[in-house]
Amino acid sequence: MTATDTICLRDEADTITLREGYDAMRFFLERVWRRLGKTDEEIALMLGALKWADGAPVDRTMWEDWLVAAQVARSGPMP
């Protein structure tokens, strides 16, 4: 059984909050990193910076970059 078999897919029109999207991105990166054998130190450093501490990401610049990315993605198809 794969993860896809156990996940209830949302309708394309469903939305998630920016924080949920941020956490989904962080979770996705961590899953890929683990699947690849935790070999890339840059991903490990990035994951550490993306974690939440006291209600905000450890590296606040990551959150600001995420907000910009979300705005760009929401504005239409990306090149």
Over the stretch 2-59, which tens digit does the pLDDT of each residue have? 544 555 555 667 788 888 888 888 888 888 788 778 777 888 888 888 899 998 889 8
* pLDDT confidence bin for 1, thresholds 50/70/90: very low
The residue ranking higher by pLDDT, 7 or 60, is 60
Give how far Cα 16 sits from Cα of 24, 42, 70, Å. Answer: 10, 27, 11
pLDDT at residue 62, rounded to an integer = 84
Q: What is the pTM of this model?
A: 0.60
- What is the band of 77 on the pLDDT scale with cuts at 50, 70, 90? low
- Cβ within 8 Å of residue 69, ≥6 positions away: none
Enumerate the β-bridge partners of residue 57: 52
Position 53 scores a pLDDT of: 92
The closest alpha carbon to 47, from 66, 27, 61, 63, belongs to 27
Distance CA 21, CA 46 (A): 16
DSSP classification of residue 19? H
In the block, residue with structure tokens 């993605």: 73
